[in-house]
Amino acid sequence: MNKTLLIFRHEFLHTIKRIGFVVMTLVVPVIALLAIGIYQLVTTVTEPSAVEVTTIGYVDELGGFDGYTTQGAIEFARYDTRDEATQALTSGDISEYFVIPHDYILTGLVNRYTLEKQLETPPSMVAAIKNFLTSNLLSDRVSRDTAIRIEAPLYVVVTRLTETGDIASDQGGYGNAIVPGIFAFLLAFSLNFSASYFVQGLGEEKENRLIEVLLSSVSPRQLLIGKILGLGAAGMVQVAVWLISLPLILGLASATIGGFFSTIELPPNFVVLGIIYFILGYLLFAVLSAGVGAISTGVREGQQLALVYTLFAFVPLWFSSLLFVFPSSPIWKVLTIFPITAPIAMMLKLGVTDIPAWELAASIIILALSIIVLLFLSIKIFRVYLLMYGKRPGLGEIIRNLRNA
């Protein structure tokens, strides 16, 4: 049997048997299924509880605030004086009260009194008081329907059209970004785990001198390619489980839970681009890890050096909130083209906005060229440093030896 194939089979089987690999592969589908099952169980054994009504007092020193005392789950109770409202508050008849002073029309100031220590007034309470005041101020001037529209003047519904004027099948929105966002998060961890496994395996083989036995039977090229393909195949199994389970789980959640889950959609070409960027991202991290593992003196040192590039994979996730606000920012164009951040950034951007064809092509081409160049350098580093022990070589020494290799 081909020696590269033997190494490939060993690395593949060794990786998929790791507890960490199995947990990372199954944790998301299992947790999601458990959450859906628990939700169904809870909804079948419990009945919807009645909405709890909160009573709030108010003192109308200006006059004219008599109506619209029911605002959702909040009921407003009127008191003639502040003393009466304070007594009701301390006795537990109301949860808090506010005072509309004589000069409210000029100042807009409302004094709120409560027994609780709070940083600020809860937004729901502010909205209820605001609607109560607005409705009463407008009650003699406009109709009830007009007053309601003044309180809530805007509900924006966005419809995306194609260049031909037809309604687009992909409408975007937060529901469109959920699956790519989850996949980008998992992809970042998968790439880091793959790099860690690669560096750890090489480090252990160097520490116990197994690498000398291996190189007596196979060439550095066969060893490197076999390891890369073996770990890559294991990673593809992991990604395949995610890509298959995510749509199925979201479909199940939409059918059982509904609500926001029913708005979740898969962006066009998500599966194809997800596979492409995993393969390219994995190959990039693998060849980087091969070089790091070859020059490292042990497992710990190799993993410390690997942090230099593995942490970069999380950079798009750190700034993902900015993507929703500034999807066309030049920063995101850089992140989608820079090889180390490209796989994660492209998955995130895919769910938020359209990606120009040139940007997608540039990202894939630069990523592929980076892999080819780094693979060539990694093979040379393998040949020069894989059997070297002791002090780790510096950058200048590595460059000189690569020139002479």
Which band of pLDDT confidence, cut at 50, 70 and 90, is reported for residue 158?
low
pLDDT at 168 over 80: no
97-107 mean pLDDT:
92
54-151: CATH number = 3.40.190.10
Report the range of poorest mean pLDDT among 56-60, 341-345, 379-383: 379-383
316-342: pLDDT as tens digits: 888 777 766 677 788 888 889 999 999
Question: Exposed (0-12), middle (13-18) or buried (19+): which is 343, by Cβ within 10 Å?
Answer: buried
Tell me the average pLDDT of the chain. 79
* Better-scored residue on pLDDT, 81 or 350: 81
109-131 mean pLDDT:
88
Question: Exposed (0-12), middle (13-18) or buried (19+): which is 341, by Cβ within 10 Å?
Answer: buried
| Structure confidence at residue 262 (pLDDT) | 60
SS3 (DSSP) at 107: helix
Which band of pLDDT confidence, cut at 50, 70 and 90, is reported for residue 261?
low
Dist. CA 344–CA 346, nearest whole Å: 6
Per the DSSP assignment, residues forming a β-bridge with 71 are 74
pTM (2 decimals)? 0.63
Dig out the tokens for 73 from the structure.
């789950």
Which of 353, 308, 325 minimizes the C-alpha distance to 336?
Answer: 353
| Structure confidence at residue 363 (pLDDT) | 93
239-256: pLDDT as tens digits: 888 778 877 777 777 767
pLDDT at 96 over 90: yes
Which of 193, 195, 197, 191 minimizes the C-alpha distance to 10?
Answer: 197
Dig out the tokens for 281 from the structure.
């991202």
- Note whether 381 and 398 are within 8 A (CB): yes
Hey, where are the domains in the chain? 3-32+172-404, 54-151
pLDDT at 182 over 90: no
Residue showing tokens 């194609």: 162
| Structure confidence at residue 312 (pLDDT) | 84
